[in-house]
Amino acid sequence: MASSSRPLSLILPLVVLFLSFCHTVSAIKFNLPAFRYPPQKCIWNPAHPNALVIVTANVGPGLHQRVDIEIVDSSPKRNIYLSKRGIKAESRLAITTHSEGEVGVCLRNYIDTDAKLSQDEQGKLSRVIDLDIDIGADAVDYNAIANQESLSGLETEMRKLEGLVKEVVDEMNYLKKREERFTKTNFSTNKRVQNFAWFSIISLAGLGAWQIFHLRSYFKRKYLID
């Protein structure tokens, strides 16, 4: 048994590493300028329904500034999952998606209303944002699960592998459904184009016949033909 479990323990990390490339993990660091009425800066990532999303935002220091964060999606309803004002230092936020599409982490950097600053000073204000977004299996804390359920290292890797495989299967099912939807749309479009072509042909034929009878009756009235 020991000899059979050893190759498995060597293969599992490689499989997990391979499947991890199929997952959505986003990490970005940028400067967020401050304004009296700032525009939103959104970072978008695709996500499936009922997917766990963990957002870790590290906000750098900055005087006379307030950073607000909002997590939304790209659905027609534009669901707002979370909205928080004045985040500082490290903030860890968790949501569960409701619909298919993209999840957006949107930030605004406000200049304090009571700050007495010149235009030049306001133009120099900004804060460094370090944003880390984990979606799906990557958002699950397997170390906490292992401690809670007293799992061994191999069992923890198996649990990770199970989550990764489930996400790959869900992604394949989503792609299959989308392909079926596109096929139906393509078939429906082709059918409509075909019907429109037949309608155009019949209309032109009818118009041509009407013109012939109209000209024939006109020439008869003018005694140009019998």
- 140 pLDDT tier (thresholds 50, 70, 90): confident
pLDDT, residue 26, reads 66
- 3 pLDDT tier (thresholds 50, 70, 90): very low
Which one-letter DSSP state was computed for residue 99? Answer: S
Q: For the chain, what is the mean pLDDT?
A: 83
User: Which 3 state secondary structure label does DSSP give 64?
Assistant: coil
Q: What is the signed CA dihedral for 49, 50, 54, 55, rounded to 10 degrees?
A: 40
For 145, the token pair is: 């699960």
The predicted-structure confidence for 76-112, as pLDDT tens digits, reads as follows: 888 899 999 999 889 999 999 988 889 999 999 999 8
Mean pLDDT, range 34-48, rounded to an integer: 91
DSSP code string of 188-201: HHHHHHHHHHHHHH
pLDDT, residue 210, reads 93
H/E stretch holding 140 reads none
Total residues belonging to the chain: 226
Which one-letter DSSP state was computed for residue 35? Answer: B
Beta carbons of 126 and 34 less than 8 angstroms apart: yes
Mean pLDDT, range 149-171, rounded to an integer: 79
Alpha-carbon Rg of the chain, whole angstroms?
31
d(CA 46, CA 104): 9
Phi and psi, residue 13, nearest 5°: -60, -35
Instruction: Count CB atoms within 10 A of the CB of residue 28.
Output: 11
Mean pLDDT, range 157-168, rounded to an integer: 80
Beta carbons of 109 and 67 less than 8 angstroms apart: yes
For 15, the token pair is: 């499989």
DSSP code string of 154-204: HHHHHHHHHHHHHHHHHHHHHHHHHHHHHHHHHHHHHHHHHHHHHHHHHHH
How many secondary structure helices (H) and strands (E) does the chain include? Answer: 4, 8
Mean pLDDT, range 12-40, rounded to an integer: 70
Mean pLDDT, range 165-175, rounded to an integer: 81
pLDDT, residue 216, reads 84
pLDDT, residue 123, reads 84
